[in-house]
Amino acid sequence: MNDLYKADGNRYDGTMKYRRSGRSGILLSELSLGLWHNFGGVDLFENGKRMLHYAFDKGVTYFDLANNYGPPYGSAEENFGKVMKSSFMPYRSELFIATKAGHEMWPGPYGEWGSRKYLMNSLDASLKRMNLDYVDVFYSHRFDPDTPLEETLQALVDIVRQGKALYAGISKYPPKAARFAYDYLRQRDVPCLLYQGRYNLLDRAVEHEGILDQSKEAGAGFVAFSPLAQGLLSDRYLDGKVADGSRMSRAHFLRPDVLTKELLTKLNALAEVARDRGQALAEMALAWLLKDEKVTSVIVGTSSLEQLQMNLKALKNTSFSEEELAQIDRILG
């Protein structure tokens, strides 16, 4: 049953643009939809389905998952699989679907990190949950300092050769391990398609560590996650209050003690720059990432259709004057 969903015929005629991922044939939508939060078993399924449909209707083609997204673990993939089966299957060739393994998924010594056993078992389970024969990219979700890196990377090579993933990617790897991964995969004719890293106005470690330049030189695209710093780079906290139901109120991934006077001053100054640009703070924060051609795609995580609509507005203006960039850097020190 098609669930009465028919994709918008104008989905590629709007404001969405597509960027080439490194030295490859893949073009990714500038904004991607991440299913880390708000798509799990504890969330309203219909809300998640509406966001998935709306995103695709607006030209979003990259959907980012991982084995343990939920909660509970695996439930985001299960819910995505329901949407896949009911309405997205006719559009499978247009969708670029990612999943990952590396963080805790099940008990015991083979339920996390980077062993061949874990990665292969995890992907088999992910494919079943998502009602897929293959994913477009499979990531090693984090560097494992104890498992030989050759074992982790050879598992990625074999997964691609088995046809369970079209491409391989790495996430959050330190520069030295990333360089080894790029070389290892390239030598086996399975070049790394994507590096996924945390990047936003408040966290620019990938700049300072050279990750952005390194991925470009290696021919890999760069995908930014946490572009709004877990919601700090939105209008939600500008008054210094923690609203009920916000991520900070749950203190799981964003603690209230992060919201210092110094940070509030910076956030409000950034919001002023955004207003002068005709944007909300969140829109400007996303646009700031997309100003850089080294960034292939930015993953947004939304809890409502309204949030998704606002995030997509960022695409209307992703250019900055030298004065605006200097002002932003002054504010952030």
The C-alpha atoms of residue 305 and residue 49 are separated, in whole angstroms, by 10
Instruction: Report yes or no on 250 lying in a domain.
Output: no
Instruction: Report yes or no on 129 lying in a domain.
Output: yes
Contact in structure between 90 and 79 (CB atoms under 8 Å)? no
pTM: predicted TM-score of the whole model, two decimal places: 0.94
Instruction: Report yes or no on 256 lying in a domain.
Output: no
Q: Is a pLDDT exceeding 90 seen at residue 307?
A: yes
Total domains in the chain come to 1
Instruction: Report yes or no on 1 lying in a domain.
Output: no
What are the E-state strand segments in 248-326? 297-300
pLDDT tens for each residue of 253-295: 666 678 899 999 999 999 999 999 999 999 999 999 999 999 9
- pLDDT tier at 1, thresholds 50, 70, 90: very low
Instruction: Report yes or no on 201 lying in a domain.
Output: yes
Alpha helices in the chain (DSSP H): 45-57, 75-83, 116-130, 149-161, 175-187, 205-208, 211-218, 247-250, 261-276, 281-290, 305-313, 322-332
Strands 27-29 and 18-20: antiparallel
Instruction: Report yes or no on 253 lying in a domain.
Output: no
Mean pLDDT, rounded, for 221-234: 96
* CATH number of the domain that residue 211 is part of: 3.20.20.100
Tell me which of 50-59, 104-113, 189-198, 254-263 is least confident.
254-263
Instruction: Report yes or no on 271 lying in a domain.
Output: no
Q: Is a pLDDT exceeding 50 seen at residue 24?
A: yes
CA dihedral angle for residue 176, residue 177, residue 183, residue 185, rounded to 10 degrees: -170
Mean pLDDT, rounded, for 113-138: 98
Mean pLDDT, rounded, for 109-118: 98
Range of the structural domain that residue 204 is part of? 18-235+282-320
Instruction: Report yes or no on 48 lying in a domain.
Output: yes
SS3 (DSSP) at 316: helix
